[in-house]
């Protein structure tokens, strides 16, 4: 069931209150049951659970920026295909529940059934070499042919690669937006766009951990090209720590964009030379997650 405007506002307010750690608002939810009940509780009751400082934060009136976020989310959610998925919803992605700090809300556009799929996340340098671009196309094509659900971050160039195969393939795909979704965000019938930020939020306003949290949607990660000190390597390393299977494509020892993949392989990522090398593994991982 979709959130009401009041419920949505309460979820945004408790999870966006400045200075309130995720563990604290989750503790308040366990005691009071719902965001609305948390916000309607007395300061004394909140202080008994959270301490005086956090109780004061929650009882403070929302500032203009927070009220703007709430209004943008309310208007965005009124459009067909747009969904605000709260922690505890039947549509909440299972992978995110395994994270130390699962987000309170997920903003999604597309088929709600897709939020529970086991995704294979593709990571690659935004400045990929010609060989890296070719690998991206070939791997995406083979994985799609095998019926594997692919995911990538917006702004990496993979959206174009995925779009090449949507017309002729039936596998679903996911675009993870690091900024907020907009009313004009478009996905196909087998597509899903997801974000942790309120609709309309600019990328500069995102929290630092956004890419890592979004990576929690995936059950496996394939790194195609990455520099040694890159967000792709950081994301894949964090995903491995969360129990995700990591695959990496090796390259020349002289190529800067191969050094990140080589580091991941040294750290335990599975070396792959063709997409067929990982198809069976990804299917096995997905089957285990059921």
- Residue 182 forms part of a structural domain: yes
Is 93 within the bounds of a domain?
no
Residue ranges for the chain with pLDDT beneath 50: 204-206
Contacts of 109 (CB under 8 A, 6+ apart): 81, 82, 83, 181, 185, 187, 192, 193, 194
Number of structural domains found in the chain: 2
Whether residues 228 and 143 share a domain: the answer is yes
Same domain flag for 172 and 257: yes
| Contact between residue 14 and residue 95 where contact means Cβ atoms under 8 Å apart | no
Coil, strand or helix: which one is 85?
strand
Instruction: Indicate whether 242 and 122 sit together in one domain.
Output: yes
Q: Which long-range contacts (CB under 8 A, 24 or more apart) does 94-99 make?
A: 94/289, 95/119, 95/216, 95/217, 95/218, 95/219, 96/213, 96/216, 96/217, 98/216, 98/242, 98/243, 99/213, 99/216, 99/242
Six token digits for residue 51: 């301490």
Residues 36 and 159 in one domain: no
Residue pair 85/115 in contact by the 8 Å Cβ criterion: yes
Is 209 within 8 Å of 216 (Cβ atoms)?
no
Verify that 24 and 122 share a domain, yes or no. Answer: no
The CA R_g of the chain, rounded to the nearest whole Å, is 20
Same domain, 186 and 280: yes
Do the beta carbons of residue 136 and residue 224 sit within 8 Å? yes
pLDDT for 209: 62
pTM: 0.88
Q: Output the domain CATH number for residue 229.
A: 3.40.50.450
Does 88 fall in a domain?
no
* Helix ranges (DSSP H) in 60-154: 64-77, 94-97, 130-145
Number of neighbours of residue 277 by Cβ within 10 angstroms:
15
């Amino acid at each position: 069931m979709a959130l009401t405007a009041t419920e949505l506002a309460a979820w945004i307010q408790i999870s966006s209150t400045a200075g309130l750690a995720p563990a604290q608002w989750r503790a308040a939810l366990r005691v009071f049951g719902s965001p609305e009940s948390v916000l309607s509780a007395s300061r004394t009751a909140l202080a008994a659970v959270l301490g005086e400082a956090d109780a004061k934060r929650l009882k403070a009136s929302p500032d203009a920026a927070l009220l703007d976020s709430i209004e943008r989310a309310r208007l965005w959610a009124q459009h067909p295909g747009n969904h605000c998925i709260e922690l505890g919803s039947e549509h909440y992605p299972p992978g995110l529940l395994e994270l130390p700090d699962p987000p309170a809300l997920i903003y999604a556009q597309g088929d709600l059934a897709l939020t529970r799929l086991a995704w294979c996340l593709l990571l690659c340098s935004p400045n990929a070499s010609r060989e890296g671009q070719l690998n991206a196309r070939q791997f995406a094509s083979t994985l799609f042919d095998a019926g594997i659900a692919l995911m990538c971050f917006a702004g990496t160039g993979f959206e174009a690669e995925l779009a090449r195969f949507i017309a002729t393939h039936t596998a679903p795909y996911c675009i993870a937006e690091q900024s907020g979704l907009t009313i004009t965000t478009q996905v196909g019938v087998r597509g899903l766009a997801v974000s942790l930020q309120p609709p309309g939020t600019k990328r500069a306003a995102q929290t630092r951990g956004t890419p890592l949290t979004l990576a929690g949607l995936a059950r496996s990660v394939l790194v195609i090209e990455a520099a040694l000190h890159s967000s792709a390597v950081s994301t894949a390393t964090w995903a491995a720590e969360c129990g995700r299977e990591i695959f990496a494509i090796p390259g020349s020892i002289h190529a800067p964009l191969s050094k990140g993949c080589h580091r991941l392989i040294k750290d335990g990522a599975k070396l792959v030379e063709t997409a067929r090398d990982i198809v069976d593994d990804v299917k096995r991982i997905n089957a285990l997650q059921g």
